[in-house]
Chain A
Amino acid sequence: MPGLENTLIAAVVVTITSLTLLLSRDWRVSIFILAGQYVGVFFLVSSSWPLMVAAIILIGGWISSIVLVMAVLSVPEMVQTADFVSPTGSWRSPQWVVTFLRLMNERAFYILAAFLILVVIGSQLSRVLITFPGIPPQHAWSGLVLIGMGLLITGFSNRPLPITIGLLTWLSGFEILYASVQSSLLMAGLLTGVNLALSLAGAYFLLAGQMEQQV
């Protein structure tokens, strides 16, 4: 069972990863961060569920990430056209600053939306804790942040990959909240099953257009 410090660190990790997922436009970064996010989710869930059951969530999440990577790698257009230009040059180079500022400019609305979500969650957290006394604060924070960011990621895009990542993030947030109040092996198994099915659906969305047409 992880201690309070570990769950606090995990809460910070999932907050940062979910924000990065919202702002990232490079599929490599997004899927890597998604896999990292599952580590944070694992630490939070393992404080409520037995370690082996929580490990199901982690392994399921990683398999989902791998499924998405494999799907994207099978689509040549997606591999070639990463629409996010990585910041290049040294830290002193003005090129890096220009790229960063351009990114901030393009993503200003996303940042504002994320900020509003965080403010709302922060201001209402105490009420949530009173309403649901069984949920520890760091779990409530992490769960709600992932749910909020997941909704933003899903809502801000009409492309299959971000939508799948957004829904996976949303589900992770839900898993954290749910694990705090309920413990069931079947639930863990089925939620992992839904995670995997969701990533398979995302992979199907990416690949369907290239598959051989059935007649």
Chain B
Amino acid sequence: MNAPLIFILLPAVFTPVLFALQRYPRFNQILAASAMLVLLLLAWRLPVNSPIFLGIPGVPALVVSDSLFLLGRRFFIDDALRPVLSLIYLALNFWFIASFVTHIRPLYIPLCFGIGVLLVASIAVDPPLYSALFIVLAALFSIPLFSPPGTPISNSALRLLIFEVLGMGLFLFADWYLSSIQNDDVLINQLPVAIALLGLGLAFMAGVFPFHTWIPMIAGSSAPLAASFAIFFIPLAASITGLRYLFAFSSFQPFFDFQPALRLVGILMVVAGGTWAVMERHLGRIMAFAMLVQVGSWLLAFTLINQSVLRVPLAGLFYSMLIPQSLALVTWAISLDIYYQVESGDLPENLHLGSVHGMAHRYPLLAAGLLVPNLSLAGLPLLANFPYLFVLSAEIAKTSLLFASLYWIGHTGLVIAGLRTMAVITRESQDRVWKVSERRHQVIWLVLFMLAIFLLGILPQWRWIGQSGPSIISGLPIP
């Protein structure tokens, strides 16, 4: 028994079962959500390389090893990686819970599950260059999510496909190039070219500016919940791979400092995302631009890794941002998705600001579900993302006050976008009487999600389950 078998191979075998059970969507939902919950619990509690005593007399202790060798390469999950897996499974669980709140297409469940498996495989594979292949497969898997059968194919799907495949090639080649340089000091003068290739490959795959265009395109042309899954997890997988490379090739740091470039791109994404969100008139695309700001924040978090803040390992800051971000994004997506199905007739173009006048009068909780996550992702105090953004901006300010100012300017853009949305959806309409038109289970889940956003903001020092550190920020190791 080994951990990659439990976390990758068995779920991979389970995915075709979910495809086969598409005809029974409710059963499929329960099955997939339960499996994802079990994986979360195992990632949280199952020790790797330590004896597990089952308490049955005569039965020897069970040891789950950390490696699985497949075609000469290794998949590796040890105790240091388990907290990261727990976070990813927790984030994935949000999207599976969301499937109970709003109506989903039958393909949603098996596709999301399969993408989750590929995401974990991309993190566990050793050496990390194989991650790119798993990310491309995940991107290919995600296409039917936002371009479902029976609808004409969208340009966003083609764009995603092109960018991911181009990125993969550049990435693999850059990996080989960097490895050659690492083994041969004579080639050290070629380091900038190799790092540029790697950066370009990662930028293609993670949707980094200026290769971000598929993110708003997907959000503007497909169902919000499915789109939010793709625009969160594909850049996340690429970013985690980028982080692994930062550590794998950290020996190059004295020869070529790539952190200023990373910082510049990160701040550019934050500012550009915030500015575009202010000018955007489509609710789905505003969500996408908020996601761009988050990707920018991830890149900025990477630039701090060699420093120390509050004696905290800063890779933990990147990972600890994931739960507030995913929670806010999924709440936003659920609210949009319910409105998309009930009022806009499954037509993405009906999510323009001009079509949602007075929405808050009929759907007050959906309106709150649009605004609270928007303001949370913008870093408003007392909401989930604020503590992490505050730490991040404080660290950026230590190196550049200008960048710290720009960071908050970008987030101010998200605040303005939120206020603008609020102004439109609360505008007086024909329905002057306020009424709750949402269904009961939708009300319950939306309230729970928003409550979680508030709680994470008010209690940022909550202990991460099973971690010995004082807070979630400090507890997470680096894969």
Contact = CB atoms under 8 A, between A and B. Distances in A.
Interface stretch (A66-74, A95-103, A114-122, A194-202): A194-202
B152 A184 contact: no
A209 B106 contact: no
B153 A185 contact: no
B318 to A, nearest CB: 27
A198 B137 CA distance: 9
A151 B163 CA distance: 11
A213 B151 contact: yes
Interface stretch (A6-14, A31-39, A166-174): A166-174
Interface in B126-143: 130, 133-134, 136-137, 140-141, 143
Contact of A201 (B143, B148, B166, B168): B143
Interface string B67-100: 0001111000000000000000000000000000
B158 interface: yes
Nearest to B190: A131
A197 B166 contact: no
Interface in A147-164: 147, 151, 154, 158, 160, 163
Interface residues of A, number: 37
A48 to B, nearest CB: 13
A184 B73 contact: yes
Nearest to B70: A186
Contact of B137 (A170, A197, A205): A197
Contacts of A178: 172-173, 176
Given A160-B153, A211-B149, 17 more contacts: A147-B169, A154-B162, A174-B172, A181-B180, A182-B176, A186-B130, A193-B133, A194-B136, A197-B141, A204-B144, A208-B153, A209-B151, A212-B149, A213-B148, A213-B149, A213-B150, A214-B105
A197 B105 CA distance: 22
B161 to A, nearest CB: 6
Given A208-B147, A214-B105, A160 B73 contact: no
B130 A208 contact: no
Interface in A108-131: 131
A6 to B, nearest CB: 25
Contacts of A211: 149-150
Contacts of B429: none
Nearest to B157: A205
Interface residues of B, dominant DSSP? helix
Given A178-B172, A186-B73, A214-B150, A205 B133 contact: no
Interface of A: 131, 147, 151, 154, 158, 160, 163, 167, 170-171, 174, 177-178, 181-182, 184-187, 189-191, 193-194, 197-198, 200-201, 204-205, 208-209, 211-215
Interface in B244-299: none
10 contacts: A131-B193, A158-B155, A158-B158, A163-B161, A193-B133, A194-B136, A194-B168, A201-B161, A214-B106, A214-B150
Contacts of B105: 214-215
Nearest to A154: B162
A127 B73 CA distance: 33
A49 to B, nearest CB: 13
Contacts of A187: 130, 133
Given A177-B173, A208-B151, A214-B107, A191 B158 contact: no
Contacts of B172: 174, 178
Contact of B143 (A131, A170, A204): A204
